[in-house]
């Protein structure tokens, strides 16, 4: 095989990988948590839809304190502790990191019947765990005044949403949200795949020098 042919094939492989990393691989989805028997810790229940959870619970408890978005369940970080909660996107076929161009979630409104909600700083992160510029939003804790549901949207190459607790003055509370809606998933090739292609290109260069 000539140097030109080897290099040409490697460039073609790299081009194909680049196209794979920018072409959406699955359709949009809406996650409403209603099929689960809660309360239950969310982990990989929705991996087939391309979304994973950590430190977030699905439940129907405290229903009188919130405005329902989709019955019976909602999701919440800070259910039993103030640790940060998160969810992130993966390729359903390989479990590799993925991102979406837009994700929305509706935070349940508040009814003052004795309970309270915590607040949170919510950051959108890309696949390198860097906060996406302009994509940090803050929800304040409830103060005893009723309010309606609100939908927040995050855009960019969003891989993860991270919820950092803002504690209510009354103590630990929930932060209920529902109807997580996101666009088509774009998988990110594993670093080992890029390394293999780069190694092939380097080998082609070495053969030419010989």
Name the residue with higher pLDDT: 131 or 22.
131
Q: Write out pLDDT tens, residues 64-77.
A: 999 999 999 999 99
Of residues 83, 63, 79, the one with CA closest to residue 71: 63
Q: What is the average pLDDT across 120-138?
A: 98
Show the domain range for 38. Answer: 23-188
159 lies in a domain? yes
- pLDDT at position 202: 47
106 lies in a domain? yes
Query: What radius of gyration, in Å, describes the C-alpha atoms of the chain?
Result: 22
DSSP string, 41-57: EESSTTGGGTEEEESEE
- Alpha-carbon gap, residue 104 to 178, rounded angstroms: 10
203 lies in a domain? no
User: How many structural domains does the chain have?
Assistant: 1
Q: Give the number of other CB atoms < 10 A from CB of residue 21.
A: 16
- pLDDT at position 19: 45
180 lies in a domain? yes
207 lies in a domain? no
161 lies in a domain? yes
DSSP letter (8 states) at residue 63: G
196 lies in a domain? no
Whether residue 74 contacts residue 176, with contact meaning beta carbons closer than 8 Å, is answered with: yes
113: pLDDT confidence band, cut at 50, 70 and 90? confident
33 lies in a domain? yes
DSSP H or E stretch at residue 3 = helix 3-20
Indicate the range of 5-14, 54-63, 154-163 predicted with least confidence: 5-14
Indicate the range of 24-33, 35-44, 199-208 predicted with least confidence: 199-208
**CB contact set of 160 (below 8 Å; sequence gap of 6+):** 86, 87, 88, 89, 124, 125, 129
25: pLDDT confidence band, cut at 50, 70 and 90? low
Residue 59's domain is classified under what CATH number? 2.60.120
Both tokens of residue 7?
């290099």
């Amino acid at each position: 095989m000539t140097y030109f042919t080897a290099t040409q094939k490697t460039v073609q492989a790299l081009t194909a990988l680049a196209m794979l990393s920018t072409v959406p691989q699955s359709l949009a989805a809406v996650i409403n948590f209603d099929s689960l028997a809660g309360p239950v810790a969310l982990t990989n229940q929705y991996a087939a839809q391309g979304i994973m959870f950590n430190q977030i619970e699905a439940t129907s408890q405290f229903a009188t304190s919130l405005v329902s978005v989709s019955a019976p369940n909602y999701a919440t970080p800070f259910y039993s502790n103030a640790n940060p909660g998160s969810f992130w996107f993966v390729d359903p076929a390989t479990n590799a990191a993925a991102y979406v161009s837009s994700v929305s979630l509706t935070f349940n409104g508040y009814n003052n019947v004795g309970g309270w909600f915590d607040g949170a700083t919510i950051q959108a992160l890309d696949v390198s765990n860097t906060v996406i510029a302009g994509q940090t939003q803050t929800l304040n804790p409830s103060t005893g005044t009723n309010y309606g549901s609100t939908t927040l949207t995050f855009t960019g190459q969003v891989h993860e949403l991270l919820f950092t607790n803002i504690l209510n003055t009354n103590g630990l509370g929930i932060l209920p949200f529902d109807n997580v809606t996101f666009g088509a998933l774009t998988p990110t090739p594993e670093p080992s795949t890029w390394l293999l292609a780069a190694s092939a290109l380097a080998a082609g260069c070495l053969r030419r020098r010989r």
